[in-house]
Structure 1
């Protein structure tokens, strides 16, 4: 169900670009959203006192910043990793990564927890889902927020809780426990519905490069991923692991897929076109929970974070040997992953000893949850913690080893520098 309403309004927020703005990072323009009241709007008011209705007057919905540090419910990068969003127990915040600064915040005055905030590059459109003990919106609804108007301009309602949302300039992808819905961004028309195995984490990835949409989600079997190539109308199933899939990531163009299972020891990189295994790298020998995977913009590097408190950077040796993929590196960029010191007896001892290990590492607090992405500066990594920590680090692509910490902030503290 989609209910839409809109009214023209000037942009009060200079930190956001309008949907039709174009930048160096996102050259493809956004679709114009024709928003009209829908005839299928639910006439029944929300009777659940734990949910707050959409407030029609923006000033009533915005309160002064809380004096105490908020509780963090959600963190996520935008599509080019230049910004990140934080859903908190009384609103949401948007931050720039380099230089680090808060771009803006919305604080709701009656609780107002936001459990999912999905950005669309740097434009004014956001997708919000209520969360926490006192959610601002029902957790089974996706609210389309327009910061030009400082209010919600549309919503998508479902029969069960929304686990995650993914945005492209032309699509909205909503992930439920066992279903995924793909909508046209311009009019919220349902285009595709996919059934998945139980997916409590809301795993889903969509390509962001200019061109056709590639969508990856869990399949219907344990360890299986499903790849939808919408341009060619092809579906590819890949048996990526024997164990349950817990994390995956797509390259910007959608041609490379990195996957990790519940064992957390190996990460595999696949060609999404033919499903072939291109490379396998080893995070470690003992079990771990992989929290995030991220490709660099040129798919030369892969970053991995886990509950072991270490962020790893791996070198990807993807070349023209795979159909539709050509990422051969220049001679000036040595990108060889180190191998086990016992790799000279490869084939004699177990595969562990000939595994490809990370080029660079950064040590964090073990047990805490972190997500990772590559920064816009060369050879830099940005790390976000569920405790509000922000790290920007640099790795040596030639010598590897421990990364150098360039910057640290706690973005939840009121005194954080903007």
Structure 2
């Protein structure tokens, strides 16, 4: 199940969830597929995460090098790359393998063909980087295909990727940046598609299955069968207390919601097409879903599966890359291959989502038209009656961008697989085009920005 790296056992995570006992995996699921196990000895728990990655105050940004690390590392730490002549050239966008925000959207991580980097969003700066040697041949490669942060603490989850992966793509490596090395690993029989972290759980996503582990001792507590999931879709709530996990169901267009505190599983038939993207609010109350068609986004009550609101990204098909709720649950942001970031108003009473009445199922063919206009029923396209975005930010069509809400009010952060970072602001009253506040190529050294 879990094979520890050569490290002394460390104290367990100090933040377990007291009211959420783990669910034992069923024997049938265990027999069908289980991770490769090292039965010689139980794995040591990972060290307790400690908050160590701090944002740079705006007034201090000029006085610190963007190449320095703000992580308190041991003496054996790999030094952050310096600006000297011997430094490896910064990677081009084609070397970028992965981008993702951390749980509170304050940072983002980038996996490259040579290692990984961590950035602060506001103010924008590189916090630290780790350039990893290629495994075995010393050629200077070392691709990282997944980097999952745990808020701003010293623990990250890494998965090898690219043509020359630093770690096998079927392993999740638990990296402790205080020690600048891996202190544990989880091995599987097939490639890992995604990883999600909470302070008390590690969730590993494979093509057709999800494994849920207790963070303190790496004990497997649940397995979930899913439909084919090559994107590694999965989301987990982050607030302390009961855990809510969302993943694809086994049927097309279905999402599965696990309420671990209530020991309840809910299936939501969200779309008639395959689910392409979804997001879960941090408190686990709201789910936003989009299908492979990419025209509509639907917001559901996670507890009961009620459809609360439906918004329209556009009339043409699109691939949805990311969905994100604002912290106050008043807005939803959407990015797609059309190159436009959309922000929608959410018309949901978040104080009583558990009791909200569901919207009637939308008629796929006929728009709602008042009686005086009923003679043209079926003539007007449905999108005339849809809820459209209140604000937009236009980028390059065809590029892959992920979006999140900034910590500053009414701001949005955008990270692209082309190496771009944008921070922009929207007007919640008048809407329209967003105002660009910042733009950086995060793969370039700071002196070349």
Calculate the TM-score normalised by the size of structure 2: 0.77
Query: Where in structure 2 are the equivalents of 1:312-351 lying within 5 Å?
Result: 312-319=342-349, 323-324=353-354, 348=377, 349-351=380-382
Find the aligned partners of 1:8 and 1:148 in 2 and give their Cα distance: 15
Give the structure with the higher percent helix. Answer: 2
Find the aligned partners of 1:317 and 1:181 in 2 and give their Cα distance: 35
**Runs of 5+ in structure 1 lacking a partner?**
10-18, 21-27, 32-36, 43-56, 327-341
Find the aligned partners of 1:263 and 1:409 in 2 and give their Cα distance: 31
Higher RCO (CA 8 Å, separation ≥ 6 residues): 2
Find 1:283's aligned residue among 307, 313, 322. 313
Q: Which residue is equivalent to 1:2?
A: 2
Residue 366 (str. 1) matches residue 397 (str. 2): yes
Query: Where in structure 2 are the equivalents of 1:58-77 lying within 5 Å?
Result: 65-70=87-92, 71-77=95-101
Q: Which runs of 4+ in 1 moved over 6 A?
A: 28-31, 59-64, 342-347
Find the aligned partners of 1:123 and 1:60 in 2 and give their Cα distance: 17
Find 1:274's aligned residue among 294, 304, 308. 304
- Which has the higher mean CA deviation after the structures are superposed, 60-69 or 403-412? 60-69
Find the aligned partners of 1:30 and 1:267 in 2 and give their Cα distance: 32
Find the aligned partners of 2:163 and 2:99 in 1 and give their Cα distance: 17
Deviations along 1:186-241, one digit per CA (max 9) or x if unpaired, are 00000000000000000000001122110000000000000000000000000000
Contact 1:82–1:96 under 8 Å retained in 2: yes
Find 2:241's aligned residue among 211, 217, 229. 211
Instruction: Rate the CA distance shift 1:130–1:234 in 2: closer, same or farther, 3 A.
Output: same
Calculate the TM-score normalised by the size of structure 1: 0.83
Contact 1:63–1:109 under 8 Å retained in 2: no
Contact 1:115–1:129 under 8 Å retained in 2: yes
Deviations along 1:73-95, one digit per CA (max 9) or x if unpaired, are 00000000000000000100000
Q: CA deviation at 1:6?
A: 2.8
Q: CA deviation at 1:3?
A: 1.9
Contact 2:90–2:443 under 8 Å retained in 1: no
Q: Which residue is equivalent to 2:122?
A: 98
Deviations along 1:329-384, one digit per CA (max 9) or x if unpaired, are xxxxxxxxxxxxx9878874343211000000000000000000000000000000
Deviations along 1:230-282, one digit per CA (max 9) or x if unpaired, are 00000000000000000000001011000000000000000011100000000
Q: Which residue is equivalent to 2:433?
A: 402
Residue 375 (str. 1) matches residue 376 (str. 2): no
Q: Which residue is equivalent to 1:39?
A: 40
Q: CA deviation at 1:394?
A: 0.1
Find the aligned partners of 2:144 and 2:447 in 1 and give their Cα distance: 21
Aligned residues: 369
